Amino acid sequence: MAKLFQEDTISTDLQAKDREQVIDEMIALLDRAGVLRDAAAYKEAIYAREELSSTGIGFGIAIPHAKCPAVREARVAVGISRQGIDYGGESTEKVRLVFMIAVQDTDDDLHLRTLASLSRRLIDPVFRNRLSGCREPEEVLQLLQEIQ
Amino acid sequence: MKKLLGVTGCPTGIAHTFMAAEALKKAAEAAGAEMKVETNGAIGVENALTAEDIAGADCIIVACDKKVDMERFNGKPVLEVSVSHGIQHAAELVAEAISGKVPVRGGKAPDGVDAMFQIDAKPGAAHEIYKHLMNGVSHMIPFVVAGGVLVAVSFLWGIYSFDPNSEQYNPTAALLKQIGGFSMGLMVPVLTAYIASSIADRPGLVSGFVAGTIAAATGSGFIGGILGGFMAGYLCRFLVKSLSGLPREFEGLKSIFLVPLVSVAVIGGIMCLLAGPVASVNTAMMDFLSNLQNSNPVILGIVIGCMCAFDMGGPVNKAAYVTGTLLLGQGNYFFMAGVSAACITPPILIALATTIFKGKFTKDERAAGMVNYILGCTHITEGAIPFAAKSPLTVLPILMLGSSISAVLTYLMKIQVPAPHGGFLILALVDQPLAWVLCILIGSAVGAVIYGITRQKPAEE
């Protein structure tokens, strides 16, 4: 099964306070794990998507995402923030869960389907609460494995 | 129970689309309403709304940040919001949708003159089949145009210029003809594959291409291709549906292994078995058409002329045009000559009328008439539509008459046009260029005079 979620790209203690910081922090996470070919180009794509409309979608969740050639392998970085992040967007609620999605232009349906089912699950408040309560990357991973 | 429909979509289509879909469904469930949501994600359109769904819906919620087809909801209550609004305020949206106070979108479905050109707006099985067929045709035509023109250009060096044993032999011509041949060779496979993909999306492509290639190779030609396309499409749709119960882990296996393997084996088998009988049907039809050309050029010309001018670029016109291109692929250059003539005539006819009878047209119409010269010369029949739309009952018969005259004359002169499009730009490739232009001008002129005489003077300039 696609390893969309991996421990080295899960952070259960994000330091960022606002959107800019959290995007940088998450990109650094992906970059360190060797997921990105070109971190700068990926960042540009992330911001290009944010320009269209904020990916802060309420319920304390943000899903910055980019589908571009700067990605080496498909991955979703997961970040949990204890103090909350000012993400902007339509909702004034602080963001506590961040999923940064990195997929390639050529990625097959499989990844997209996984993301679709993740997105569907995030509507469920119980699931969200369990996720933001996680203290360790392993726990997060286990919880996310459920949806695959 | 209230019946709601939803459409969700976002620019990248990997997260918000599905969150919104889920949020809306949950909200509808909570409110005790029935809801179906179409997702326009990166995977493609899933759970697409059918004409039946739309007809039976109480309200449609469109939570989209990207363009989706909205025309289909004309005459229905429609709520249009951003995708993130759909995620965050699903419950409010559903409540509003159920309240019955949502304004109805746009005017009613297109009527009057417009409806004449919108035959494809009719729902139902025939429309479905037409839509799939046209998806194949529209993907196929560029291959035929590119290939056909290249082959036709190679004839400039002489009709045998590709043959090394001929005195006319020219390496450039041979190369062009070869390239053109490859492009034309893809005609049936592309037609078949995109009929199948219109029915079953991506999974249909594989068996569609294979079926088309078999049809091309075994001589069952485009009839075999069309049959194969529909069989492949419906089989794949059935396979995908019947395998949808598989656990998620098998999703990848399904799309890259099971569906392609099974569909190619089954469809390939059927196509090979059908090859013989279909090939003979195909040959019979080609023979019938070429016989008609020789024995009854007048009847054929009238039929083609009326078809081409009836809806100018619409489905009836396309039917004649597609038959012409398909026959072109099989080496019949006579048939296309009449089709092209009939397609070029309407705009030229209009243009001539506005030139000859200046006083009977407004300034704007005369300007549009000038443009019609260019459109006509480049085989763009649609140029005549604005004129026909003003008074279809008088103009259409005149256009059909003009086109028929052009086509009949063309068939009587046995003119050959080897390229499927291009109008007078490809005149150099026509075997009797002057005669062909003359045929078209006669048809156009006769029509133009009748049009001009019957037309009333405009009330005011």
Residue B65 belongs to domain with CATH number: 3.40.50.2300
The rounded Cα B420 to chain-centroid distance in angstroms is 15
CB B265: neighbour CB atoms within 10 A? 12
Mean pLDDT of chain B: 83
Q: State how far residue A76 is from chain B, nearest Cα, in angstroms.
A: 12
Phi, psi of A59 (to 5 degrees): 60, 20
Domain-embedded: residue B254: yes
Instruction: Give me the residue from B13, B22, B65 closest to A53, CB to CB.
Output: B65
Instruction: Return the SS3 of A103.
Output: strand
User: Does residue A130 sit at the B interface (CB-CB below 8 Å)?
Assistant: no
Most confident range, picked from A112-121, B372-381, B384-393: B372-381
Catalytic residue among B10, B59, B306, B439: B10
Give the model confidence (pLDDT) of B312-330 as tens digits: 766 677 778 878 887 877 7
Considering just the CA atoms, what is the radius of gyration of chain A in Å? 14
Specify whether B326 is located in the same domain as B404: yes
Cα-based distances in Å from B54 to B84, B100, B224: 23, 16, 34
Question: What is the predicted pLDDT for the residue at B428?
Answer: 80
Mean pLDDT on B215-232: 86
Shared domain check, B228 and B126: yes
Catalogue the E-assigned strands of B33-185: 34-41, 44-46, 59-64, 78-81
Distance, in Å, from the CA atom of A142 to the CA atom of A77, rounded to the nearest integer, reads 14
Tell me the pLDDT band of B116, cut-offs 50, 70 and 90: very low
Cα separation, B206 vs B259, in Å, equals 9
**B254 and B318 in one domain?**
no
Residue A146 in contact with partner chain B when CB distance is under 8 A: no
For residue B357, the Cα-to-chain-centroid distance in whole angstroms is 35
Domain end (from B285, B306, B340): B285
> Is residue B114 in some structural domain?
no
Q: What's the average model confidence in pLDDT over B431-460?
A: 88
Residues B301 and B263 in one domain: no
Does B127 share its domain with B237? yes
* Cα radius of gyration rounded to whole Å, chain B: 26
Residue B343 is assigned to a structural domain of this protein: yes
In this structure, are B91 and B178 located in the same domain? no
- Looking at the fold, whether B68 and B185 belong to one and the same domain comes out as no
**Mutation site for A-interface testing, chosen from B10, B18, B89 by largest number of A Cβ within 10 Å:** B18
CB-CB: which of A101, A108, A109 is closest to B15? A101
Map out the domains of chain A with their CATH numbers. 7-145 (3.40.930.10)
> Where residue B119 falls among pLDDT bands split at 50, 70, 90?
very low
pLDDT for A1 equals 38
Domain ranges, residue B368: 296-454
CA distance B46 to chain A (A): 11
Report the candidate in B95, B100, B105 with the shortest Cα–Cα distance to residue B68.
Answer: B105
Give CA–CA dist B206/B339, Å, rounded: 33
User: Hey, which bits of chain A come out as E strands?
Assistant: 10-11, 56-58, 61-62, 65-67, 75-85, 95-103
User: Tens of pLDDT along B128-164?
Assistant: 787 888 788 778 877 877 887 787 777 777 667 777 7
Say what the pLDDT of residue B355 is: 93
In a domain, B460, yes or no: no
Tell me whether residue B184 is in a domain. Answer: yes
pLDDT grade for B248, boundaries at 50, 70 and 90: low
Q: What is the pLDDT of residue B118?
A: 38
CB of A101 less than 8 A from some CB of B: yes
Task: Name the token pair of B13.
Answer: 């289509």
Do B111 and B84 contact (CB within 8 A), yes or no?
no
Among B230, B254, B285, where does a domain finish? Answer: B285
Distance (Å) from the C-alpha of residue B284 to the closest C-alpha of chain A?
Answer: 44
How much is the average pLDDT of B257-262?
89
Rounded CA separation B36/B227 (Å): 32
Local structure of residue B72 (DSSP, 8 states):
G
Complex-level ipTM beyond the 0.85 threshold: no
pLDDT score at B110: 38
- Measured in Å, how far apart are chain A's first and last C-alpha atoms? 8
Give chain B's domain count: 3
Nearest-Cα distance to chain A for B18, in Å, is: 5
Q: Give the closest of A57, A65, A118 to B84, CB-based.
A: A57
**Within-domain flag for B11:** yes
Assigned token pair, B130: 């037409």
Same domain, B301 and B441: yes
pLDDT in tens, chain A (148 residues): 357 888 899 999 899 889 899 999 999 999 999 989 999 999 999 998 888 777 887 788 888 888 888 888 889 999 999 888 988 866 678 899 999 988 887 766 667 777 788 888 888 888 888 888 888 888 888 888 876 5
Q: Is residue B43 part of a domain?
A: yes
Would you say A64 and A77 are in contact if contact means Cβ atoms under 8 Å apart?
no
Q: Do B388 and B450 reside in the same domain of the chain?
A: yes
Looking at residue A25, what is its pLDDT?
94
Best-predicted range by mean pLDDT (B44-48, B72-76, B338-342): B338-342
- pLDDT value at residue B390: 75
In terms of CA atoms, which chain B residue is nearest residue A93? B88
Cβ atoms of A108 and B254 closer than 8 Å: no
The one-letter amino acid code at A43 reads: K
Is B265 among the domain residues? yes
Burial letters A108-145, b for 16+ CB under 10 A, else e: bbbbbbbbbbbbbbbbeeebbeebbebeebeebeebbe
What letter does residue B5 receive in the DSSP assignment? Answer: E
Dihedral angle, C-alpha B443, B148, B382, B444, nearest 10 °: -10
Distance of CA B47 to the CA centre of its chain: 24
Same domain, B320 and B449: yes
Of B388, B430, B394, nearest in space to B413 by CA = B430
Amino acid identity of B259?
A: V
Say if residue B123's pLDDT is above 70. Answer: no
How many angstroms separate the CA atoms of B179 and B201, rounded? 29
Residues B261 and B184 in one domain: yes
Token pair belonging to B420: 């499927």
Nearest by CB: A57 against B88, B249, B255: B88
Together in a domain, B254 and B312: no
Please report which confidence band the pLDDT of residue B109 belongs to, taking 50, 70 and 90 as the band edges.
Answer: very low
- B285, B309, B344 - which closes a domain: B285
Share of chain B above pLDDT 70, in %: 93
